[in-house]
Amino acid sequence: MASYQASLLITYVETYLERMVENMSESENQRSENLDENLEEVRLTVKEAAKYIDESTGVVRNWLRELKSHIPTVQGENGYHYFDKPALERLLLIKKLSREQNYSIKQIEYHFVTGGKGVKPEPTPEVSDLILQDLKIIKDKLELQEQFNQVLVKQLEKQQQHIEHQQKQISDYHKRDEQILLAFQESRKAEQELAANQKKKGIFSWLFSDK
């Protein structure tokens, strides 16, 4: 029983969704028909124009930015650009050139500048030229790397020389300290011997002196 009720619920939901989709489609078709009928008076925003020609808003904005002088938009009091019939027809032509004939932005612009008489082909570099360009880039990078390596080697050599100089100074300081310590020890020893000799002389002088 529960399974049967679930099945009925699913069927009801699917039917409801299908009707919603059909109503939305009919509404959209009706809107398009009304838009076509009133195209002479229409003023569409970028978003609406993009939807009318079935393109994304970003694409239409890019066309408007790159081909601004060739798209006759109407500027409103608020400063925004609106699309009337001529502007929409131009968007449709741009779309056709871009999507069906694979024109680039520069080619589309050339098409409008020349009145559609022809398209100036964009130069296509030969494969050999591309390889030479890549090789030149690689060569330049290798030269820069070599220069960097040379500078690095010189810096390392200077650093090594500085370390060796510091080590030599430290070694010289140790030798000097050892020599000073040795001289002090010898001087101390000589003083002690001198004092001992003077003491002995004093004893002998006292023993053999006449009193």
Q: Is 83 helix (H, G, I), strand (E, B) or coil?
A: strand
| pLDDT at position 207 over 70 | no
Q: Where are the beta strands (DSSP E) in the chain?
A: 74-75, 81-82
Six token digits for residue 146: 């070599």
| pLDDT at position 179 over 50 | yes
User: What are the residue boundaries of the structural domains of the chain, listed by start?
Assistant: 2-113, 129-211
pLDDT of residue 63: 93
Of 40, 140, 147, 157, the C-alpha closest to 89 is 40
Question: What is the rounded average pLDDT of the residues 140-155?
Answer: 88
**Mean of pLDDT over the chain:** 78
Question: What is the rounded average pLDDT of the residues 72-91?
Answer: 89
Architecture of the domain whose range is 2-113 = Orthogonal Bundle (1.10)
The whole-model pTM stands at 0.42
How large a percentage of the chain has pLDDT more than 90? 18
| pLDDT at position 203 over 70 | no
